[in-house]
């Protein structure tokens, strides 16, 4: 499979400046994505626990430590697996798969289970647990529930509210102490987390958190220039440090200021419509969980470039290059969402759903 995908990419028979058609998101694809999440959100093993222990009493199976989010190999993947299912209920194409999602989410979102998650945050890990990646995805789940115009959305958002309160509290404890951004391509990256957190703050009307994130984003990135895109990707990236920062800043800066900032930040984007300025990452072993991160990089790069292009003026000549590179990454990235290996099957469908449903495009432009 690896060699087939490499050959498909290397032989990608599209002229460098051609307009590339986007894959269509339909009920068949939505069913495929939903099936991967439904298969894992209550699958306890294999499991990777990020868990500090003071003594033997802290030893417990995942389902006891995390009564809601114990599946999908790790806590954050369980969270965005649940987010994906809510997203599909909210905006996915109508089909029978939606009827299978409802009882699975109802099984997870109960007051007793949520109380167990809150107890874990309060008693065991303090404010650092799953910070920032898992916390950001949890707030994305809450954003989705708040925006879903359905009684179940309101009910489940209310059920999860005690955990939401703890997560927001922990973020507000952390942000004032964060002196530098984290500019890596994996879980601790701050640009990606800030983007999802900011989306939640604006949806929830939490002006304090919005101001904290905007302030930190401007302090960290307003003067950034010439991002070293040529150094990407690292061997285990699933987030682009350069593109994710640009995706964050279009949420923070008003359109005219953003266009000016972006020209200085990524001058390497061509103006001729070419897609070959940024080629997709290649995975050397699909069964290796860390190496398979690059499949997620292709998907997240695609949504980054689409979001950036949407934030730029129509007359901006680099929009075509961004959109065409995004479509190549989209095509290559979607090939990986098969579930053949659990290394990718437990999480890639969430990234694919974020991309294919235009979740990032829902975020309003900045106004600061």
Residue where a domain terminates, one of 160, 177, 194: 177
pLDDT of residue 365: 72
For residue 15, what are its two tokens?
């002229």
Considering the domain architecture, whether residues 84 and 147 belong to the same structural domain is answered as yes
Residue-wise pLDDT tens digits, 58-113: 899 999 999 999 999 999 999 999 999 999 999 999 999 999 999 999 999 999 99
Shared-domain flag, residues 44 and 153 = yes
> Buried b vs exposed e over 9-24: b needs ≥16 C-beta within 10 Å?
beeeeeeeeeebeeee
Q: What pLDDT does residue 2 have?
A: 46
Residue 48 lies in a domain: yes
**Cα distance between residue 246 and residue 260, in whole Å:** 12
pLDDT tens digit string along 132-176?
999 999 999 999 999 999 999 999 999 999 999 999 999 999 999
Query: Taking a C-beta distance cutoff of 8 angstroms, is the pair 143, 203 a contact?
Result: yes
Q: Provide mean pLDDT across the span 22-30.
A: 86
The reported pLDDT for the residue numbered 52 is: 82
Total tally of structural domains belonging to the chain: 2
Identify whether residues 244 and 314 lie together within a single domain: yes
Same domain, 345 and 272: yes
In a domain, 18, yes or no: no
Burial of residue 142 (number of CB atoms within 10 Å: 0-12, 13-18, 19+): buried
- The answer on 169 and 33 residing in a single domain is yes
Task: Please indicate, yes or no, if residue 303 is contained in any of the structural domains.
Answer: yes
Has residue 190 been placed in a domain? no
Closest residue by Cα to residue 301 from 202, 357, 232, 210: 232
**Predicted local confidence at residue 10, as pLDDT:** 46
Q: 364 lies in a domain?
A: no
Token output for 325: 């590179």
Task: Copy the structure tokens of residue 176.
Answer: 């004032």
Helix (H) or strand (E) holding 192: helix 190-204
Query: Does the structure show a pLDDT above 70 at 12?
Result: no
Residue 150: closest CA among 80, 85, 90, 79: 90
Work out the pLDDT band at 19, boundaries 50, 70, 90. low
* Cα gap 151→337, rounded to integer Å: 31
32 shares a domain with 169 = yes
167 and 235, same structural domain?
no
Query: Residue 192: inside a domain, yes or no?
Result: no
Query: Among residues 152, 177, 202, which one ends one of the domains?
Result: 177
Co-location of 247 and 320 in the same domain: yes
Q: Cα–Cα–Cα angle for 47, 49, 53, nearest 5°?
A: 145
Q: For tokens 């009307």, name the residue.
A: 205
Q: Is the pLDDT of residue 366 over 90?
A: no
Which range among 70-84, 123-137, 296-310 shows the weakest confidence by mean pLDDT? 123-137
pLDDT at position 6: 47
Query: Do residues 236 and 90 both lie within one domain?
Result: no
Question: For 262-285, what is each residue's pLDDT tens digit?
Answer: 999 999 999 999 999 999 999 999
pTM of the model: 0.94
Contact (CB, 8 A) for 159 and 114? yes
Q: Count of CB atoms within 10 A of residue 26's CB? A: 12
**Is 16 within a domain?**
no
Percentage with pLDDT > 90 across the chain? 86
239 shares its domain with 312: yes
Question: For the residues of 209-249, what is the DSSP string, one character each?
Answer: HHHHHHHHHHHHHTT--S--GGGPPPTT-SS-HHHHHHHHH
Same domain, 29 and 157: yes
Rounded to an integer, the average pLDDT of 203-212 is 98
Question: Hey, what are 268's tokens?
Answer: 């390497």
Point out the domain boundary residue: 157, 177, 197.
177
CA distance 42 to 107: 9
Q: In this structure, are 39 and 120 located in the same domain? A: yes
What is the mean pLDDT of the segment spanning 219-226?
Answer: 98
Give pLDDT, residue 22. 64
> Cα(102)–Cα(90) distance, rounded to whole angstroms?
12
- As given in the structure block, the two tokens for residue 220 are 């960290």
In a domain, 184, yes or no: no
Give the pLDDT band of residue 54 (cuts 50, 70, 90). confident
Q: Is 4's pLDDT higher than 70? A: no
Q: Which domain holds residue 110?
A: 23-177
The CA distance from 203 to 152, in Å, is 18
């Amino acid at each position: 499979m690896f060699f087939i995908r490499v050959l498909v990419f290397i032989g990608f028979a599209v002229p460098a400046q051609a307009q590339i058609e986007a894959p269509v998101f339909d009920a068949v694809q939505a069913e495929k994505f939903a099936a991967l999440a439904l298969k894992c959100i209550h699958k306890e093993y294999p499991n990777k626990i990020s868990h500090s222990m003071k003594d033997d009493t802290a030893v417990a199976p995942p389902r006891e430590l995390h009564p809601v989010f114990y599946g999908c190999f790790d806590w954050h993947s369980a969270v965005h697996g649940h987010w994906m299912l809510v997203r599909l209920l909210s905006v996915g194409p109508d089909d029978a798969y939606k009827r299978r999602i409802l009882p699975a989410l109802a099984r997870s979102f109960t007051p007793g289970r949520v109380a167990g998650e809150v107890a874990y945050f309060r008693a065991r890990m303090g404010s650092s647990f799953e910070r920032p990646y898992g916390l950001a995805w949890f707030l994305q789940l809450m954003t989705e529930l708040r925006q879903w115009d359905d009684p179940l959305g309101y009910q489940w958002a209310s059920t999860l509210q005690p955990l939401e309160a703890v997560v927001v509290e922990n973020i507000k404890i952390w942000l004032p102490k964060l002196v530098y951004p984290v500019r890596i391509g994996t879980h601790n990256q701050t640009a990606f987390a800030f983007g999802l957190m900011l989306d939640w703050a604006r949806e929830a009307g939490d002006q304090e958190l919005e101001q904290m994130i905007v302030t930190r984003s401007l302090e960290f990135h307003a003067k950034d220039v010439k991002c070293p895109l040529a150094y990407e990707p690292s061997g285990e990236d699933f987030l682009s440090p350069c593109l994710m920062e640009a995706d964050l800043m279009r949420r923070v800066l008003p359109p005219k200021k953003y266009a000016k900032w972006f020209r200085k930040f990524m001058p390497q984007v061509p103006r001729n419509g070419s897609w070959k300025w940024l080629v997709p990452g290649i995975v050397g072993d699909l069964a290796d969980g860390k190496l398979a991160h690059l499949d997620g990089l292709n998907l997240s790069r695609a949504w980054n470039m689409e979001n950036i292009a949407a934030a730029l003026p129509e007359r901006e000549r680099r929009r075509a290059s961004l959109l065409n590179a995004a479509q190549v990454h989209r095509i290559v990235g979607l090939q990986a969402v098969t579930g053949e290996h659990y290394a990718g099957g437990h999480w890639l469908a969430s990234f694919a759903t974020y991309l294919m449903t235009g979740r990032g495009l829902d975020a309003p432009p900045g106004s600061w």
